Chains A and B, each alone.
Chain A
Amino acid sequence: MSGLELINFYVIPGLISGSIYALGAIGITLIFGILRYAHFAHGDMATLGAYVALGLVGSLALSPWVALPIAMAITALVAVVLDRVFYRHLETRPKILTVMASLGVALMLRSVVQVVWGVDPQVYSTGIVRAESYGGLMLRSRELITFATATGLVLFLMAFLRYTRWGKAMRAMSDNPELARLCGVNNEAVTRLTWVIAGALAAAAGFFLGINTELNTMMGWSALLAMFAAAILGGVGRVEGAVVGGLVIGLVEELSVLVLPSQYKMATAFVILILILLVRPQGIFKGKVL
């Protein structure tokens, strides 16, 4: 196999699914870092976002790319409402109860999608898109857009966290919630903002998963383990860690096909998760260990 084939058939798909995992992992790592629990409904939130976009494409005949920002906004709103209704009242109780509640929410979100859209796989648009050659690199336009949008979203988020008031408040709460509150940070507003970001990015992850393959009601749940592995590999609470972690998991998954039966692709994320917990639980970028 030539180097170019390796890139076209393994590295590019790996980077695409890696960017998708990264978008999901950012939300997971922010929730884990700031609110301090593992959010198990994240994958199904991505599924919901993907199907909301599908609904917009189907009912309003929008282009998928126009539907994406609207779906992100709607999912962000859903995330805020879910937090208020199902997670907020557990705030003072052991965090693991919120983890459990989120497992229930995952099931509820999925069944809503299954009732509204059915369980048969669907696509945003039919027809085969041929890859174009860029000096030997075979790329489809949707792959370029996936990569560019994911990069744009990540850069925007990182600038937001670094330079804005609210971004600083989020980082402060992640470092020490008590101290942040004493310094006048509005914990409730930060929580809400966290959910807006996490929900919007989850919807984007679901959308890109759907447009690069197909939509099915289990797609988010199946990606959840990879997203968690990415968040922990990068370091809990670290956005740049989630990105690197996502890309690593995506690449390793695709490359694992070279040595393992392709059915076990999903297992590689788990292996990486266990290894990182064994050798460096704080992750590549030295995140939190809860």
Chain B
Amino acid sequence: MDTLGLLNYAIFMGVLIGIYALLSLGLNVQWGYAGLFNAGVAGFFAVGAYLSALFTAPPVPDRIMGWELPTGVGWFAAMAAAALIAWPIGKVTLRFRSDYLAIATIGVAEIIRLVLRTEDLLSGGVRGITGIPRPFGDLPYEWSQLAYLGLTWGMVVVIYWALERQLAAPWGRMMRAIRENELAAAAMGKNVEARRLEAFILGAAIMGLAGAVYVHFMRAITPEAIDPMMVTFLVWIMLILGGSGNNRGAILGAVIIWVIWSSSELLTDRLPAEIATQAKYIRVFVIGLMLQLVLRWRPEGLLPEGTHVRRSS
């Protein structure tokens, strides 16, 4: 690969890392702040991706919407849709222990996948949705990529900043109090269920935004583009390794895991065809094992929550 190709590849990776950083930040609101187990990250991601695509892509016969609205409207709609799906699920399951939420989110992700596979009216069938506009898409290829990299990381910074503010505010302290001792927080008059629901919805909205950022980068999407288990699981290991409860940890985890994940893909692609497919599954195994190791030996992650809390409060 020549220098320019390498640089293009780095930019491409950079955008994807930014998208995963957004997902990881969204999950941190749910898991890190509120202790909620969302096993359907990919579902909210897909909803965001599809909704923003449908709002902004050109109309096509045999498919609904295609309103060619500005990208910003699409992104906003993506967040709103993900939040709207999170709301009833949280409402029903958050009265119980987090296990129930986890089971329900697996179901949500499965159903979203089923709907996208089945309803051609929505997903454009096998052709998928194409012609999705990209901000700065009219620039020459390299500049367009670079501009999108800036935009993606701009979003990461904005979300990071907003979450940090939220965490330092009374709301953040209340969330931590509820997570650490639910009974005590409830006894202090805090509405535990409502706060949890807020955290779940907020996190889901950020995941929807990540989906929208992804789809405008790729400019096209098919139901097969998102492997639900892989997306969900990668985001989890990112957050756990980086340090749940710490937003900088969430971003750091996204960088580390994505670099390991995609460089191991480069490696396995060079293997002879007969073992290449098996190597693909061994990669998955290693990611699963990595989670076990982190849980066992460094459950607080690389950037533990504590250091950060002391500084901000």
- Taking CB as reference atom, which chain B residue is nearest A109? B288
The answer on a CB contact under 8 Å between A96 and B118 is no
Among A129-137, A166-174, A259-267, the one that faces the other chain is A259-267
Closest to A90 in B: B295
Select one of B92, B118, B296 contacting A277, CB under 8 A.
B92
Contact B295 A101 (CB under 8 A): yes
For the complex formed, measure the closest distance between the CB of A271 and the CB atoms of chain B, giving whole angstroms.
Answer: 9
CA gap between A106 and B111 in the complex, in Å: 20
The listed residue with most B CB atoms (<10 A of its CB), out of A86, A107, A228, A263, is: A107
Verify if A89 is at the interface (C-beta below 8 Å from B).
yes
Chain A residues with CB under 8 A of B108: 270
* Residue B254 is within 8 A (CB to CB) of chain A in the complex: no
A107's contact among B104, B233, B295, by CB below 8 Å, is which?
B233
Q: In whole angstroms, how far apart are the Cα atoms of A273 and B256 in the complex?
A: 37
Find A104's partner among B95, B104, B288 (CB 8 Å cutoff): B288
Interface assignment of A97: CB less than 8 Å from any CB of chain B: yes
Say how far A205's CB is from chain B's closest CB, in angstroms. 17
Q: Is the CB of A273 within 8 A of B295?
A: no
A197 to B118, CA, bound (A): 38
Given A111-B288, A112-B285, A89–B296 Cβ distance below 8 Å?
yes
Which of B93, B236, B284 contacts A103, CB < 8 Å? Answer: B236
- Chain B CB within 8 A of A93 CB: yes
CB pair B106–A225 under 8 Å, yes or no, is: yes
Closest A residue to B287 by CB, please name it. Answer: A107
Q: A107-B233, A277-B92 are in contact. Are A263 and B103 (CB under 8 A)?
A: no
B85 interface hit (Cβ, 8 Å): no
Partner of B92, one of A37, A224, A274: A274
Given contacts A99-B102, A114-B281, A273-B103, whether A290 and B97 have CB atoms under 8 Å apart is yes
Q: Which residues of B contact A6 (CB under 8 A)?
A: none
Q: Do B288 and A264 touch (CB < 8 A)? A: no
Which one of B111, B118, B282 lies within 8 Å of A270 (CB-CB)? B111
Contact between chains at B96 and A97 (CB < 8 Å): no
Contact of B99 among A95, A104, A278 (CB under 8 A): A95
Q: Which residues of the other chain, B, contact A281 by a CB distance below 8 angstroms? A: 95-96
Across-interface contacts of B117 in A (CB, < 8 A): 263
Is A200 positioned at the interface, with any CB of B under 8 Å from its CB? no
B214 within 8 A of A: no
Q: How far is the CB of B139 from chain A (nearest CB, A)?
A: 40
Let me know if A105 is at the binding interface, CB within 8 A.
yes
Q: Give bound CA distance, A232 to B118, whole Å.
A: 28
- Contacts A40-B39, A225-B106, A277-B93 hold; do A267 and B111 have CB atoms under 8 A apart? yes
Is the C-beta of A73 less than 8 angstroms from some C-beta in chain B?
no
With A and B bound together, what is the CA distance between A48 and B32 in angstroms? 33
With a CB–CB cut-off of 8 A, which chain B residues contact A224? Answer: 106
Cβ of B114: which chain A residues have Cβ within 8 Å of it?
A: 263-264, 266-267
* Closest B residue, CB atoms, query A94: B35
Within the complex, which residue of B102, B111, B282, B299 is in contact with A40, where a contact is CB–CB below 8 Å? Answer: B102
Q: Mark B105-135, 1 if CB is under 8 A from A, else 0.
A: 0111011001001100000000000000000
Interface residue A81 (Cβ < 8 Å from any Cβ of B): no
The distance in angstroms between the C-alpha atoms of A261 and B96, with both chains bound, is 32
- A290 with B92: CB separation less than 8 A: no
Known: A104-B288, A261-B118, A263-B117. A93 touches B111 (CB 8 A): no
Interchain CB contact under 8 A, B99 and A99: yes
B281 touches A277 (CB 8 A): no
Q: Contacts A104-B292, A107-B284; is A96 near B37 (CB within 8 Å)?
A: yes
Q: Are A228 and B288 in contact (CB under 8 A)?
A: no
B interface, CB within 8 angstroms of A? 35, 37, 39, 92-93, 95-100, 102-104, 106-108, 110-111, 114, 117-118, 229, 233, 236-237, 240, 277-278, 281-282, 284-285, 287-289, 291-292, 295-296, 299
Could you write out 18 A-B pairs with CB less than 8 Å apart?
A: A40-B102, A97-B295, A99-B37, A104-B237, A104-B288, A106-B288, A107-B287, A108-B292, A111-B288, A114-B284, A115-B282, A115-B285, A225-B103, A263-B117, A270-B108, A270-B110, A270-B111, A290-B99
Given A108-B285, A270-B110, 4 more contacts at CB 8 Å? Answer: A37-B99, A99-B98, A99-B102, A107-B288
Residues of A within 8 A of B (CB): 32, 37-38, 40, 86, 89-90, 93-97, 99-101, 103-108, 110-112, 114-115, 118-119, 221, 224-225, 228, 232, 261, 263-264, 266-267, 269-270, 273-274, 277-278, 281, 289-290
* Among all A-B residue pairs, the 4 with the closest Cβ atoms: A270-B107, A108-B288, A38-B99, A104-B291
